[in-house]
């Protein structure tokens, strides 16, 4: 006899992306199709659930148009968190509280959409379910613009951010070619990704028949030498009047000091111990201006790169939805303590399949850009890198334009005007 399906709960965690809501739409659709009764959404992830904050998604996603709008809405519709659960042996009561809430809501499947830190939550909850004999299944759905999750070819969210970065860098290069500036001009573009250079390397996508691409790209995987960098720029300006250089927010000196710490870096540290990285481009632009006497500009792409749903990659949005669907399918079919991963099965045509992998091998790990995908000098990425990223940025998702601006799905009463 078929078991009676009860309810599903889904949460979003970590840094938002342009595709995370597409995964939410995928979870919602598949849970409905598989006959689950209610689909709850945690407000601000596990942190909100601990405070009893959740919604019944079917009260908010009422028709097919809402689902389509959700896929086109950047950031985390449900609200996100960076909340680290304690170790089980340290504070069992926190887990008892969560499981009591999940039992009260009659949850069968718990889906968490997030990155490596968020997978720590799936790991701990699934471990605890084994200890207390709970039948709830815990499945992770990958998400992060950083593309640094282990065991998966790539992560939803990365392709759209990479597309935005490649496009923006190209536009900045074009802009730089317009004016003749006495003593030359250098633009430094700071890109997110913390310790992984996948996003920064995507600046190379700007290169094509009509654009030479950035003059240098510095990833956080290799130590950064400020003096060598200034020398490279000095030589560069002897050859051309305008340079555009992409740097990761996480570049650091040989001894591990972030370059951002030399500037007016923020002291903010999140629950996982990550420093907020900001101000690197502006610090380096000031160094170049004073040492080379040229005009400089610093562009920190900041949240623009992860919120740019108007330039989302179709491949990314579709894959994000399929990862959400695959997470529900896995949980429905009995998997727990796993995360959905992508396997690239063909390059041309590009084709990926999904499967599940043990979340213990993914949580808190960081997948970095391999050394062989960076040139020998350490100031650009190779063709293999670009060939890897290119399929992930293909296709467009047309925004629903209202009064000339993309329309988003939002929860009434959730946004407050100050
Ligand atoms: O984890 C994703 C990410 O976008 C990182 O690339 C970046 O360092 C971090 O989030 C920034 O987060 P926040 O906007 O919360 O400071």
Tokens of 195: 């310790």
Select from 81, 118, 146, 196 the residue to mutate for testing ligand 1; criterion: most ligand atoms less than 8 Å from CB: 146
Residues 315/395, Cβ–Cβ less than 8 Å: yes
Alpha-carbon dihedral sign for residues 33, 34, 35, 36: negative
Query: How close is the Cα of 389 to the center of ligand 1, in Å?
Result: 20
pLDDT at 418: 47
Closest residue by Cα to atom 8, ligand 1, is 194
Mapped onto helix, strand or coil, the DSSP state of residue 72 is: coil
CA neighbours within 13 Å on the CB side: how many for 37? 9
Closest residue by Cα to atom 3, ligand 1, is 15
192 CA closest ligand 1 atom index: 6
Average pLDDT over the chain reads: 95
194 CA closest ligand 1 atom index: 8
Residues 299/280, Cβ–Cβ less than 8 Å: no
pLDDT at 261: 93
38-83 per-position pLDDT tens digit: 999 999 999 999 999 999 999 999 999 999 999 999 999 999 999 9
Tokens of 358: 């043990």
CA distances from 342 to 201, 352, 376, 391 (A): 20, 6, 29, 13
Query: How close is the Cα of 7 to the center of ligand 1, in Å?
Result: 31
Q: Does the annotation mark 403 as catalytic?
A: no
96-115 per-position pLDDT tens digit: 999 999 999 999 999 999 99
- Name the active-site residue from 108, 117, 120, 146: 146
Q: How confident is the model at residue 229 (pLDDT cuts 50, 70, 90)?
A: very high
82 CA closest ligand 1 atom index: 15
286-315 per-position pLDDT tens digit: 999 999 999 999 999 999 999 999 999 999
323 pLDDT higher than 60: yes
Query: How close is the Cα of 160 to the center of ligand 1, in Å?
Result: 15
Residue with the bigger pLDDT between 414 and 28: it is 28
Question: What distance in Å separates the CA atoms of residue 133 and residue 137, rounded to the nearest whole number?
Answer: 11
303 CA closest ligand 1 atom index: 14
Residues with C-beta less than 6 Å from any ligand 1 atom: 14-15, 115, 144-146, 192-194, 249, 276-277, 303, 306
Question: What distance in Å separates the CA atoms of residue 338 and residue 179, rounded to the nearest whole number?
Answer: 53
Q: Spell out a b/e string for 203-239, using b for 16 or more CB atoms within 10 Å of the CB, else e.
A: bbbbbeeebebbbbbbbbbbebebeebbebbeebbee
Q: Is 340 exposed, middle or buried (0-12, 13-18, 19+ CB in 10 A)?
A: buried
User: Which has the closest alpha carbon to 52: 15, 95, 105, 118?
Assistant: 105
Question: What distance in Å separates the CA atoms of residue 335 and residue 64, rounded to the nearest whole number?
Answer: 29
Closest residue by Cα to atom 16, ligand 1, is 276
144-194 per-position pLDDT tens digit: 999 999 999 999 999 999 999 999 999 999 999 998 888 899 999 999 999
Select from 161, 192, 197 the residue to mutate for testing ligand 1; criterion: most ligand atoms less than 8 Å from CB: 192
Mapped onto helix, strand or coil, the DSSP state of residue 187 is: strand
């Amino acid at each position: 006899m078929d078991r009676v399906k009860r309810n599903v709960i889904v949460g979003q965690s970590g840094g938002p992306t342009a595709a995370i809501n597409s995964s939410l739409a995928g979870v919602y659709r598949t849970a409905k199709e598989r006959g689950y009764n209610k689909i709850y959404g945690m407000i601000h992830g596990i942190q909100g659930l601990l405070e009893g904050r959740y919604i019944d998604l079917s009260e908010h996603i009422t028709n097919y148009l809402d689902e389509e709008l959700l896929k086109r809405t950047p950031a985390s519709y449900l609200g996100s968190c960076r909340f680290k659960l304690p170790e089980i042996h340290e504070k069992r009561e926190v887990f008892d509280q969560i499981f009591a809430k999940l039992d009260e809501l009659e949850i069968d499947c718990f889906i968490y959409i997030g990155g490596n830190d968020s997978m720590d939550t799936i790991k701990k909850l699934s471990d605890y379910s084994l200890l207390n004999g709970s039948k709830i299944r815990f499945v992770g759905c990958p998400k992060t613009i950083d593309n640094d999750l282990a065991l998966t070819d790539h992560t939803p969210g990365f392709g759209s951010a990479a597309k935005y970065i490649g496009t923006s860098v190209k536009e900045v290069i074009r802009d730089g070619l317009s004016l003749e500036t006495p003593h030359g001009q250098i633009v430094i573009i700071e890109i997110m990704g913390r310790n992984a250079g996948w996003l920064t390397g995507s600046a190379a996508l700007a290169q094509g028949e009509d654009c030479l691409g950035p003059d240098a790209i510095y990833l956080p995987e290799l130590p950064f030498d400020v003096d060598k960098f200034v020398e490279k720029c000095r030589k560069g300006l002897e050859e051309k009047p305008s340079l555009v250089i992409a740097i990761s927010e996480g570049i650091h000196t040989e001894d591990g000091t972030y370059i951002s710490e030399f500037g007016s870096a923020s002291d903010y540290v999140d629950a996982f111990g990550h420093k907020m990285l900001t101000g690197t481009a502006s610090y380096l632009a000031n160094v170049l201006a004073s040492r080379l006497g040229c005009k400089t500009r610093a562009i920190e792409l900041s949240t623009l790169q992860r919120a740019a749903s108007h330039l989302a990659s179709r491949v990314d949005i579709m894959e994000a939805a399929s990862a959400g669907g695959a997470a529900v399918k896995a949980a429905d079919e009995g998997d727990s303590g796993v995360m959905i991963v992508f396997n690239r099965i063909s390059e041309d045509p590009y084709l990926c399949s999904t499967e599940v992998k043990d979340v213990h091998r993914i949580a808190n790990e960081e997948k970095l850009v391999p050394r062989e995908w960076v040139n020998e000098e350490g100031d650009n990425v190779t063709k293999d890198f670009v060939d890897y990223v290119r399929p992930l940025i293909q296709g467009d998702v047309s925004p629903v334009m209202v009064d000339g601006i993309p329309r988003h799905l939002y929860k009434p009463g959730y946004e407050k005007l100050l």
